[in-house]
Amino acid sequence: MDTDFAGEAAVASSLDDGSLPSPAHFDEWHDAHGVRAHWQQFFQLESPVELAGKQGDADRQIRDNGITYNVYADTQSGPARPWSLDILPFILDEADWQQIASGVSQRARLLNQMLADLYGAQTLLHRGLVPTELVLGHPGYLRALSGHQPAGGVFLHIVAFDLARHPNGRWSVMAQRTQAPSGLGYALENRLIVSRLFPEAFRQLRVQHLASSYRQLLATLTRLSPPAPRQTAPRMVLLTPGPYNETYFEHAYLARYLGIPLVEGSDLTVRGDELFLKTLTGLTPVQVVLRRLDDNFCDPLELRTDSTLGIPGLLQAVRAGKVLMANALGSSFLESPALLGFLPGVCEALLGEPLQLPSLHSWWCGEDAACAEALSELDQRIIKPTYPPGPPYHGNEPILCSQLDPASLAQWRARILQQPGAYTLQENIPLSQAPIWRHGHIAAHPAMLRVFAIADGEGGWQVLPGGLTRIADEPDQPVVSMQRGGSSLDTWVLTSGEVDTFSLLPGQLRPIDLRHKRRLVTSRAAENLFWMGRYAERAEQRVRLAHWALEWLAVNHTSSPGGEHLPLLARLCWHMSLLPGPAPTHTTPGALAHAIRIGLVDADAAWSVAHTLAALAAAASPVRDRLSPTYSRLVLATSRRFSGQQAQRAHQGDYSNAEALADLEQLAVELVAIAGEQADHMTRDDGWRFLAIGRHLERLNLLSMQLGQSFAGLWPPHGAAFELLLALFDSSLTYRSYYQCRQEIPALLDLLVCDDGNPRALNAVLTSLRSELGALPSLPGTAELATLLPVQCPTLEALCQRTPSGQLDTLRCFTQHLQHVSARLSDEIGLHYFNHNPAWQPDDLMPSSRC
């Protein structure tokens, strides 16, 4: 059988005829002679019969790799949506790609020249080639950087263009992304998955590789970087808004692939016009920031004052030439769709050549003639905001006018005429349709291609031979959007020449590569881990006390307010923040049990167990890359389950002791599992040490408080109070194995204070803290941290020594001292390892000259 016919027949057998491309769309699947040659060759090498299994393989790999697209940017509401990838690639032949690459390279060169002019001589404004309102009136134009020229005159290091193919096969630019283009990480992950699914087709079709473009990016940033100290390689970081951002996975993945740290704004600080990374070993100079943070969030001193994502003083460091921003700050105004219509004239003026790759026809309604022309056929346009959301403009998602009824169309016409400069109209074209694999058949869905250009630092541009192709969720859906359920394709660019096989993926490691490997721990990561330890221990202690209290109160519900154990129990619950308001003076068992249950139900109250669990999940979220997937899921699931459970109880309005006890018992098991993950499933690096220090500091503080409060009355604890102390120290079984049912104060203090073998004894906690503090990185002032702890516990004889009034003063003083020390240590650790703020002295506020 003829091989060409065999390939086409194999494909046709799996084709869903109902999903054939419409004649109004360009067909990426067929040409005038039938199935396109590259698709015939693809299916000669890869069997359509195996496509269903390979789609399952891709989905499993996405789940295993944790590839996500967080649609609503809300990690607290649950796991982000898995990234959607269809297994069939989007294939471009060599001639098609050469046209795209040439046009994209010219456009990148043009946009960089525009920024140089508009932040410099502004000849484009003086000659009227670009309306002044679209530049100086755009919030993305940063006047604070007027006159500033970045290193090498390179404003844009990465530019992305969204391309659409007309029904006649011509490509046009729909949008351009200049401030923090997304997609490089997803494009790379798509390539790694799809190329492994179809290795033979990938090789035989001579698909161009991507790695050399990423290498070019690193080389460009290195070439343009400000000098690093002591002629070392420049320190680069990738700046992310954080885990709540919709594309956070891509940020983390791209940082790992490029081999640079992923940081948030709180990880960085500006000192003396220089940018530094806050690490456990001190401040490390940073020369290059590859940012995924929008312009206006980058510096709360000079840009958005309400931004908590940026670095105060960053613009000054940029102006001083001490840090390279990729892309340069102040480039976002070029993303306005209103500028697209002016680019042909700008290209002639700046480059002296016609624009090769046209834009979709765009009309800025701030020009009367353009507005009248566009409004004459409003039902065939797309309405786009000229400016981003914010006063005095109210940005909106693009409006597809063909889907509006006459009344809505009239409303939009009136709105545009009321504020014409705020809107840009763009032609609406039917997108080309690409083959995808859906429900056991090959179907055709609308597609849009995002391509990337990377500067070489010397005036040239390299276009990534591929890109990120996005497809609509339905065959007749006119808009392509990942947020509306769309998917993605790997983009294959074919070549007749040699394929560059360079790779940035790690190769085989040699023994010498493994020596002295130390993972960088940022101060922010260490702080989150520290508080994870504190919140986990706090939740355990609160659950243990609440469970014991409710159980005891259920049995002793007839006790009078003056009963000897009830005041102690109420006082402990208040000190453990299980009760709101002032410390209770007189209460009844029923009232105390009700107050504890209310505290469990109120998830928004700072004293509730649910709030502590939410704080634990919030601290864990930014350091998920340091936690096992099981650990991350366990923390989030525990918080969500308990909060949901309590919300349901609150809605019911009747929360019994039995229900509360059942909820607390289940939560106690989950907290033990979390503690086990912390103890046995984390590498013993500096990050883990801070988690352990946080847990032990919280344990020291709470247990010493509970012990001191229990001995604060006229009589030492006995009866139920004795049993309560053992339960709070999780030492009931150990005590009974030693002393059976005898209640002896010396035996109690020996087990809870002095016993090194009891991990919850105060002496054992102090020993662990000394060891962990001693292993931390050495910084000025940190050698004294361990000396804040008592050298040793008082002897058992001293602890049991009574004053004439019968008080155990040594024990009281010791427990109070431990509470003070734990608070002081927490502050000192934060000061030295997390904040890196210069020590403040009162003299700093004094005049420089004195009388």
Contact partners, residue 371, CB within 8 Å, separation at least 6: 363, 364, 365, 416, 417, 420
Number of domains in the chain: 5
Q: 544 with 484, same domain?
A: no
E strand segments, 389-513: 399-400, 423-427, 433-438, 441-455, 461-463, 468-471, 487-493
Q: Which of 395, 428, 461 is the last residue of a domain?
A: 428
DSSP string computed for 436-463 = EEETTEEEEEEEEEEEEEEE-SSS-EEE
The 10 Å Cβ neighbour count of residue 511 is: 6
The pLDDT assigned to 12 comes to 52
The pLDDT assigned to 394 comes to 62
Q: 453 with 581, same domain?
A: no
Rounded Cα gap, residues 266 and 210, in angstroms: 32
Contact partners, residue 527, CB within 8 Å, separation at least 6: 690, 830, 833, 834
**CATH of residue 405:** 3.30.1490.270
Q: 106 with 196, same domain?
A: yes
| Cβ atoms 291, 239 nearer than 8 A | yes
Q: 454 with 529, same domain?
A: no
| Cβ atoms 205, 38 nearer than 8 A | yes
Helix (H) or strand (E) holding 262, with range, is strand 262-263
The pLDDT assigned to 840 comes to 44
DSSP string computed for 116-154 = HHHTTT-HHHHTTSS-HHHHTTSTTS-GGGTT---GGG-
846: in domain: no
Helix (H) or strand (E) holding 42, with range, is helix 37-45
**Residue 627, burial from CB neighbour count under 10 angstroms (0-12, 13-18, 19+):** buried
The pLDDT assigned to 4 comes to 44
98: in domain: yes
| Cβ atoms 221, 324 nearer than 8 A | yes
Q: 744 with 675, same domain?
A: no
Q: 720 with 739, same domain?
A: yes
Q: How far is CA 25 from CA 97, 169, 414, 640, 694, in A?
A: 20, 9, 32, 46, 61
The pLDDT assigned to 377 comes to 94
The residues with which 490 forms a beta bridge, in sequence order, are 468
Rounded Cα gap, residues 376 and 386, in angstroms: 19
pTM of the model: 0.82
Residues of the chain with pLDDT under 70: 1-22, 68, 70-80, 231, 391-396, 483, 505-519, 557-563, 583, 585-586, 602-603, 647, 650-651, 653-654, 714, 837-851
499: in domain: no
| Cβ atoms 92, 493 nearer than 8 A | yes
Rounded Cα gap, residues 26 and 16, in angstroms: 18
The pLDDT assigned to 508 comes to 61
Letter string b/e over residues 340-371, b meaning 16 or more CB atoms within 10 A of that residue's CB: bbbbeebbebbeeeebebbbbbbbbbbbeebb
The residues with which 445 forms a beta bridge, in sequence order, are 434
Rounded Cα gap, residues 207 and 495, in angstroms: 6
Q: Which of 625, 653, 681 is the last residue of a domain?
A: 681
514: in domain: no
| Cβ atoms 547, 660 nearer than 8 A | no
Q: Which of 681, 711, 739 is the last residue of a domain?
A: 681
Q: 693 with 753, same domain?
A: yes
844: in domain: no
Residue range(s) defining the domain that contains residue 398: 361-428
Rounded Cα gap, residues 586 and 583, in angstroms: 10
Q: 250 with 133, same domain?
A: yes
511: in domain: no
Q: 400 with 324, same domain?
A: no
Q: 615 with 759, same domain?
A: no
E strand segments, 339-409: 362-364, 381-385, 399-400
The pLDDT assigned to 588 comes to 85
Q: 417 with 556, same domain?
A: no
Q: 11 with 80, same domain?
A: no
851: in domain: no
The pLDDT assigned to 506 comes to 62
**Structure tokens given for 617:** 């999940």
476: in domain: yes
Report angle CA 73, 310, 391 to the nearest 5 degrees.
75
The pLDDT assigned to 653 comes to 67
